[in-house]
Structure 1
Amino acid sequence: MKLTLRFNTVLLLMTTAFSGFAQQKNAKLDSIPASPFVFPNTFETDTTAVPLVDEQLAFYNYSFTNKKRLDSIRNVIPMDYNEYVQKYIDVYTGRKNMMGKMLGMSSYYFPIFEKALKAYNIPDELKYLPIIESAMNPHAVSRVGATGLWQFMFTTAKGYGLNMDNFVDERKDPVQASFAAAAYFRDAYESLGDWLLAIAAYNCGAGNVNRAIQKANSRDFWEIRPYLPQETRNYVPAFIAAVYVMNYAKSHQIMAQKSPLAQKTDTVQVNRFVSLTALSEALELETDALFVLNPSYKKKIVNGTEESPKRIIMPAAQLDNFARIYEVLNDLPVDVDTRVYLASNDDKRLRNKSRQQASKSAANVQHSYHRVQRGQNLSTIANKYNVEVQDLKVWNNLKGSMVVPGQRLIISAKAAPTKAAPAKSKTYISYKPKGSGSGSAKI
């Protein structure tokens, strides 16, 4: 199926970065759930890898300069300065290589984040959150399955309109995931009424935040902090510190590193299946260079259809390559099974829970029988398994209390053989219907 675009229209699209998608996405804003907190507790306590700090910090390095700088950064979200924030300033200013990479990638990612946050009237400062969530790596996956730049869990992602199937994982799509994150923060702030609390809820869930509020009898983050999960206690000060370092990097000799992400890109919508490998060849690029701009396509296949066009972002193309690019986008067949299957929930906590339940069931099976050891009697065995001596006698058809070493005893009613119930006798009731001869009916 060919694109319904003339060649010159394609060229126009390819010279207008993000414009087509911006209109499409703005038209879809209302499709994202507007009710407060669709899945408020899906984010648990390990969606990030925030370095831990001591709970009882000695504030020996108070910096009036850092406090003044944070006060100057403050816009909507409070940029409080205390010993915990200072500790993370020390951590991040000590990671000059990492923060230099963040500065380099910010020139590509921040405009995407800012556009999504602005669409929902969310404070611009939240664009720094992916630094501590994923180190701005769209392929980041936490130990529990949180995925992408914004570290969405599967259920939360589905609730905020992101799609996961055998071709695509939109949690890895910088644009799609950013709009979903902005929608989440809209709901979090409407529910909690405070931006630091909303940030905390993004990490540990609104349920944990509300419980901490009740225990502390306060809605101030720093007062409820001791009642939050350990990672969340550090999550908010780490965020404030990241904002500080990104704004005052040069003051700490942190320089932006060159990013592998192209700074000048073109965007085109396709309504057919397109191979990113073939497109990269047409663009005279390494496949990975194109894949890093389109990280959500699992098979490096863009599965566009008439009903659901897909977006491709590419480095600005050379004029000499346009004819080949047009062929790939319009005519080149892709040898792939085009059937789409929805992805299953990849929350690793569910698998851990299943393993624990299976282990518990196995333990129950192992404990259904007991091999009598030397010196044991029915009383000691009954006490060991918290059952009655009389039950042991019934389950094992024992007439007395004598047991011998090596004897195997049933110690669970579930493992005891059941006796076949006597067959119910068939009852026949004789009656004589009106207007007929004698007869009988079976009830």
Structure 2
Amino acid sequence: MPHPIVAIIGRPNVGKSTLFNRLVGKRLALVDNRPGVTRDRREGDASLLGLDFRIIDTAGYEDEDPDSLPGRMRRQTESAVQGADVALFMIDARTGLTPLDEEIARWLRAAETPVILVANKAEGRAGEAGMLDALSLGMGDPVALSAEHGEGVVELFEALRPLVEAAEAAADVEDADAPDAPLKLAVVGRPNAGKSTLINRMLGQDRLITGPEAGITRDSIATDWAWQGRPVRLIDTAGMRKRARVQEKLERLAVADALHAIDFAEVVILLLDATKGLEGQDLRIADNVLKEGRALIIALNKWDVAEDASRLFNGVKAALEEGLSQARGIPVLTVSAITGKGIDTLLKVAFETRDSWSRRVSTGALNRWFERAMEANPPPAPGGKRIKPRYLTQINSRPPSFALFGTRVDLLPDSYKRYLINGIRREFDFGAVPVRLMLRAAKNPFDKQA
């Protein structure tokens, strides 16, 4: 899904390109103290405290003949704003309002695009008068900013976040009517666990070479397929052995390819040989999947010939609980690649797991739960310093990622982070998919870049 679009608009030389460069993290736009340096729209991928969007740097808005160069530049700017989800209207707090600022404001009030008023160059006393003047534009309180020094970016984030999230939610509604995207499903495991046999059984044909010899599959092989009318891209991978056994160059390349397949996948099935149980290498593979942020399912293959099945199943679950404490409750299913038993259930769970991995939670629901969680277990005060969390927001999905904002939240101990992550997972039914939590203390995150 494409990111929401944010356009920066304002008269020439108010600092639009400086803010653009700061948000994209690169010097993509020319910056000079002469007006009119930017003539064409520039676009880049921006990230502000984990909030991702597409940013457009527009030419300075000038009151000129429509057929002149400045007039054509203005048409480009108007087009950019009409196609944007949010407009940042920038004024110069040191210079104060000009008649052109007031004209731009009148035009923006008539447009349908939501507008955030930004007063740039607001650092120090020199910008105070311009901040007060900005209230007369009727666009609410301006966000005080210094694009050059990176001041005010937290306030800009707080103003942008609800509008960007609303644009994302609207896009999600549109996407809901589109055909399902293929489920990217990788099958990984130790050599000879039956990965290729399982995929052949799913496909109903001998698409992949199989045999009793370990390591027949050398490459990760992707196959497009459909299960009950839903598209799937199946990825069979080379067997992942212990590092000490990976001697041949060819096998080293195969393992590297399997790791790449994990990165490509949405859901990863770790296939175990039920006749051999769970080994340390299986836990290392599972840990790698979770560190890459992919959803994980454990499948016990050759279940039709397993001995003492109940004891084996409970033993595998207990070992997973102990060895993968960061993701308790990972689905453990039984299958037989030879007979096909359990495969439909496996695929049903894979689709459900992807849904959880892709889920977004509204900021309102998240913070209602967060307030209850803090009342039930208030954050500690290490060294007598009180930690003051302010709010929680989801900054990404696939995997679900959240940011906690507040004063000194970077001092929260790991135990309290685990308390919040486990609570989010339970409350919003994320199951065992990886959930990430970033701590954003109230400080200037661009100090090192300024």
Scaled to the shorter chain, the TM-score interval is under 0.3
What TM-score do the two structures reach when normalised by structure 1?
A: 0.23
Q: Choose between structure 1 and 2 for higher RCO, CA contacts under 8 A separated by at least 6 residues.
A: 1
TM-score normalised to structure 2 length: 0.22
In terms of fraction of residues, the more strand-rich structure is 2
Larger Rg: 1
